[in-house]
Amino acid sequence: MSDLSQQFAARIRAAAGPLVLRGRGSKDFYGNAPQGEALDVSGHRGIVAYEPTELVITARAGTPLAEIEAALAEKGQMLAFEPPHFGEGATSSATLGGCVAAGLSGPRRATAGAVRDYVLGVKLLDGQARELNFGGQVMKNVAGYDVSRLIAGSLGTLGLILEVSLKVLPRPVAEATLRFDLPEAKALETMNQWAGKPLPVSATAWCDDVLTLRLSGARAAVAAAVEKLGGALVAASEASQFWAGLREQQLDYFAGDEALWRLSLPSTAAPADLPGATFIEWGGSQRWLRGDIDAGHVREVAAKLGGHATLFRGGDKSVGVFHPLAPALAALNARVRSALDPRKVFDTGRL
């Protein structure tokens, strides 16, 4: 164990109540308000191993996401799930550990997969301050239960992430962004139809009757798709600004303090009959909603459409940020949590 992980272990052993794990706070806004004493883990940083031809990077949890992305970019590779940083200001403060713990993915998620799909292994300190390794540094690994993917999105409530190994992918050779004027229902139908065709779609966004589509892949494939789909071609610089702005929620739609709801729905679900402006991503699977809408009502509508609703930013968190689980599933979640952390060291209530 390194010095810092020994310090973390000592804090865990000495903990009388829950510890709230924190990197550099870029996602403090997310999740239920955690109860407990803060433990800053951002000092535990650095890339441990990066093998471009193995498509694997391993880094300590406090490593800035920006540092990882820069190292990958140098070798023409990327984190395919396009994690949002949500860092303030020009330099992002997001860390790898926070990225995995929050489990949030960006515009490419519908076609490339989520954070959890790229997690290959984790090194953890559990609630008994034991250093545990799950998964590993290889793509295919079915030895033992897949605890490393379980950690993705667990918001620090299962253990302290020390290191993560992620699968990485080459950056696409070519990219093009197209715009189409389409109303919501038609846009949803179109996105789903395109997703069923062998087209190199890498991201979709719909707002204000405009559907924006990103194509990524081999030069010839992108060119052929542009030809086939029509629409208005968006200039490369404007396009990259748009997709980065969407990933970081810096587009106009996301401005202001009004509550932001995230509806996670089947991609083919009909337009949600709810008040508030809508922004659709992920081919129809992720739909944002602005406004102080009654939580019970949002959740009822989302559930009827086959999905769930999260109070993502702002609003009144006392309604519970996350969609309530069915009783049997809630009980199972609780048993899983205490199985991995019987001393309740990470039971902050954030998830």
Partner 1 sequence: MHAHPPEHRIDEDTRSAVLAELAALLPASALLVDFEDLKPYECDGLTAYRQLPMAVALPADEAQAVAVLRACHRHGVPVVARGAGTGLSGGATPVNDGVVLSLARFMRILEVDPLARTARVQPGVRNTAISEAAAPFGLYYAPDPSSQIACTIGGNVAENSGGVHCLKYGLTVHNILKLRVALIDGEIVEIGGDALDGPGYDLLAVMVGSEGMLGVVLEATVKLTPKPQVAQVVMASFDDVIKAGNAVADIIAAGIIPAGLEMMDKPATAAVEDFVHAGYDLSAEAILLAESDGTPEEVAEEIAAMRAVLEKAGARELRVSQNEAERLKFWAGRKAAFPAVGRITPDYLCMDGTIPRKHLAHVLTEIARLAQRYGLRCANVFHAGDGNLHPLIMFDASVPDELERATELGSRILELSVDVGGTITGEHGVGIEKVQQMCVQFSREELEAFHALKEAFDPKRLLNPGKAVPTPRRCSEYRLTGSAK
Least distance (Å) between residue 45 CB and partner 1: 22
Order of strands, edge to edge, in the sheet holding 201-207? 232-234, 174-181, 210-217, 201-207, 278-281, 286-290, 260-264, 308-313
Minimal distance, residue 255 CB to partner 1, in Å:
25
CB of 162 to partner 1, least distance (A): 14
Cα–Cα distances in angstroms (integers) from residue 37 to residues 45, 152, 156, in the given order: 21, 22, 13
Instruction: Identify which of residues 118 and 242 has a Cβ nearer to partner 1 in the complex.
Output: 118
Taking the complex as a whole, how short is the minimal distance between the CB of residue 333 and partner 1, in angstroms? 5
Specify the residue, 93 or 175, whose C-beta has the smaller distance to partner 1.
Answer: 175
Give the nearer residue to partner 1 in terms of CB position, either 256 or 306: 306
Distance CA 255, CA 290 (A): 10
Which residue, 55 or 244, is less far from partner 1 as judged by CB?
55
Q: What is the DSSP string of 66-93?
A: HHHHHHHHHTTEE-TT------SSSS--
CA angle 196, 197, 202 (to 5 degrees): 85
Closest distance between partner 1 and the C-beta of residue 155, in Å?
A: 10
Neighbours of 47 (CB within 10 A): 15
- Return all residues near 334 (Cβ < 8 A) that are at least 6 apart: none
Residue nearer to partner 1 on the CB measure, 47 or 223:
223
Minimum Å gap between C-beta 165 and partner 1 is: 10
Identity of the residue, 87 or 217, whose beta carbon is nearer to partner 1 in the bound complex: 217
Closest approach, Cβ 88 to partner 1, in A, equals: 26
In the complex, what is the shortest distance from the CB of residue 144 to partner 1, in angstroms, rounded to a whole number? 5
Residue 41: CB atoms within 10 A of its CB come to 29
Residues 6+ apart with CB under 8 A from 118: 79, 80, 81, 166, 167, 168
Closest CA to 265 of 192, 197, 202, 186: 192
Single-letter code of the amino acid located at 304: K
Q: Which is nearer to partner 1, 138 or 233 (CB)?
A: 138
Cβ atoms of 86 and 94 within 8 Å: the answer is: yes
User: Per the structure block, which two tokens stand in for 328?
Assistant: 């049997």
Is the Cβ of residue 170 or residue 256 nearer to partner 1 in the bound state?
170
